[in-house]
Amino acid sequence: MTYASIMVAVDPGAEARDRVRLAGHLADDFRARLIGVAAEEASYAVPPIGPVPASAYALAANSELILNDLKRAHAVFEEAAGTRSRVEWRSNLDFPLPFLIGQAAAADLVVVGRKPASGPLLCSVDPGDLVMHLGRPVLVVPPGLDHLDVRRVAVGWKNTREARRAVRDALPFLTRASRVVVVSIDDGESADDTADVVGFLQAHDIEATAIRTETGGSATSLALVDAAAEQAADLIVTGAYGHGRLREWVFGGVTRDLLAGAPVCCLMSH
- pLDDT tens-place values along the chain, 270 residues long: 899 999 999 999 889 999 999 999 999 999 999 999 999 987 544 455 555 555 555 555 567 888 999 999 999 999 999 999 999 999 999 999 999 999 999 999 999 999 876 655 678 899 999 999 999 999 999 999 999 999 999 999 999 999 999 999 999 999 999 999 999 988 766 557 899 999 999 999 999 999 998 876 568 899 999 999 999 999 999 999 876 555 554 334 889 899 999 999 999 999
Dist CA 106 CA 168 (whole Å): 19
- The predicted pLDDT at position 243 comes to 64
- The predicted pLDDT at position 55 comes to 55
DSSP-derived pairing of the beta strands 152-157 and 179-186: parallel
Dist CA 15 CA 145 (whole Å): 9
- The predicted pLDDT at position 122 comes to 75
- The predicted pLDDT at position 46 comes to 47
- The predicted pLDDT at position 52 comes to 53
User: How many other β-carbons are positioned within 10 Å of the β-carbon of residue 25?
Assistant: 16
- The predicted pLDDT at position 48 comes to 52
Question: 53-73 in b/e burial notation, b at 16+ Cβ within 10 A?
Answer: eeeeebeeebeeebeebbebb
Q: How many helices (H) and strands (E) does the chain have?
A: 10, 10
Strand residues in the chain grouped as ranges (E): 5-9, 33-40, 87-93, 109-113, 138-141, 152-157, 179-186, 208-214, 235-239, 265-269
DSSP-derived pairing of the beta strands 87-93 and 33-40: parallel
- The predicted pLDDT at position 155 comes to 98
- The predicted pLDDT at position 59 comes to 54
- The predicted pLDDT at position 118 comes to 65
- The predicted pLDDT at position 251 comes to 37
